[in-house]
Structure 1
């Protein structure tokens, strides 16, 4: 499997590798300094960095421990410039990790994860229904550093993650795309849209109140997508 992702003309290449526990600090930095300031649900909920440390970072650690999360690095300076944190392989009957058990999440993180669970585990049980007995992987967090935007790196990380999942015997790759840009990548490669959540209409399943009123344009919807491998 090729290590090259993107060619930097006049410079070196951007290559990829799997993330390991040695990358926890780099992951934490990417999540807190890059991801939460652009991720639409985080923006809509005005998520504090302290909350992200409890929620996103702990979940990301569990993804890395699964062994199939990947990063992109610049060969000119070995800087990690992007990540796709993935969980799995899963089956509809068994998840690969139980990272949240016993973890008391901040209220805003609870609300954020409710939105995501409504997409994948809601009344339609969309992921379980589509996966059936097949193995699948889930894309959790796609992150590209500000300095490496508009190079096609997000798409390259998606395509490489699909290859990694397929090599593990997975039939499907699911992702809860909260960003219009991520949704476009999956749509470009023929992914099926299983569910759409309109931020302006979403209501908390417990309180019944609208909670996503400050989402950043053009990110007005979240989509649950399924990439067949």
Structure 2
């Protein structure tokens, strides 16, 4: 499978406030990417806050998610401030390929261990599966796709268009690897608005306030409030 073992330059983006450059992320960026995600993503997502998960567990999960992605199926993009060179935004992207049995790829061994250690991950995964019960490869009639998640921008650089640029640069990187399909399940109203603005196609939506867990018969996410209560599945074909 293709993987970003070396840096790939993805151009610059200038605003009145600052200048930024974009490139693919590698394992050399692991610690900085983890710190950005921990500080500006891990404890803010409403799906997690609805479950009252301890912050230490959220941080542990996202540190491993970041490491696993950069190690195994990476096509992630970073936004760097030109003046300081620091990482101020990330879009984590996974290159996924259909397995021999036609199913979706499983997590690596370390992520499987994390899931076993933190059982709150299981109802979250059931919720995300409910958003689209179909196998994504079967749904889109493809053998490979790019899955985007954990879009994060440092709060000092919010409202500058960096999040949108991270998605655009992710499309460029996906095409560089020969992938023509991007799939996203945004969990916040802000990230959803970016995909709408970029004219991604809405495939499914799920009102979490009406959700019932098939295993427990309960709704552990009922405290999620508007506009974060509607989860969505978006996609875009890049090379058609």
Q: TM-score range by the shorter chain?
A: 0.7 to 0.9
TM-score normalised according to structure 2 size: 0.84
User: Is it true that 1:171 corresponds to 2:180 in the alignment?
Assistant: yes
Aligned residue in 1 for 2:205: 196
CA contact (8 A) 2:75 2:95 kept: yes
SS of 2:32 mapped into structure 1 = helix
CA distance in structure 1 between the partners assigned to 2:90 and 2:160 by the alignment:
14
* Larger CA deviation: 168-177 vs 182-191: 182-191
CA distance in structure 1 between the partners assigned to 2:79 and 2:228 by the alignment:
25
Per-residue deviation, residues 88-126 of structure 1 (Å, max 9, x unmatched): 142373538535334424122222222223324x2x33x
Q: 2:68 aligns with which of 62, 65, 74?
A: 62
Alpha-carbon deviation of 1:68?
0.9
* Larger CA deviation: 164-173 vs 44-53: 44-53
- Aligned pairs, number: 224
Q: 1:37 aligns with which of 43, 67, 79?
A: 43
SS of 2:206 mapped into structure 1 = strand
SS of 2:214 mapped into structure 1 = coil
Aligned residue in 1 for 2:52: 46
Relative to structure 1, the CA distance from residue 107 to residue 59 in structure 2 (aligned partners, 3 Å threshold; closer, same or farther) is: same
Aligned residue in 1 for 2:105: 95
Alpha-carbon deviation of 1:140?
1.8
User: Is it true that 1:15 corresponds to 2:21 in the alignment?
Assistant: yes
User: Is it true that 1:119 corresponds to 2:131 in the alignment?
Assistant: yes
CA RMSD of aligned residues (A): 2.1
CA contact (8 A) 2:181 2:236 kept: yes
Aligned residue in 1 for 2:93: 86
User: Is it true that 1:162 corresponds to 2:171 in the alignment?
Assistant: yes
SS of 1:87 mapped into structure 2 = strand
Alpha-carbon deviation of 1:185?
1.3
Alpha-carbon deviation of 1:27?
2.1
CA contact (8 A) 2:94 2:147 kept: yes
CA distance in structure 1 between the partners assigned to 2:27 and 2:124 by the alignment:
25
CA contact (8 A) 1:91 1:131 kept: no
TM-score normalised according to structure 1 size: 0.88
Relative to structure 1, the CA distance from residue 9 to residue 131 in structure 2 (aligned partners, 3 Å threshold; closer, same or farther) is: same
Aligned residue in 1 for 2:4: none
CA distance in structure 2 between the partners assigned to 1:87 and 1:105 by the alignment:
23
Aligned residue in 1 for 2:119: 107
CA distance in structure 2 between the partners assigned to 1:41 and 1:215 by the alignment:
7
Gaps of 5+ in 2: 1-8
SS of 1:225 mapped into structure 2 = strand
SS of 2:210 mapped into structure 1 = coil
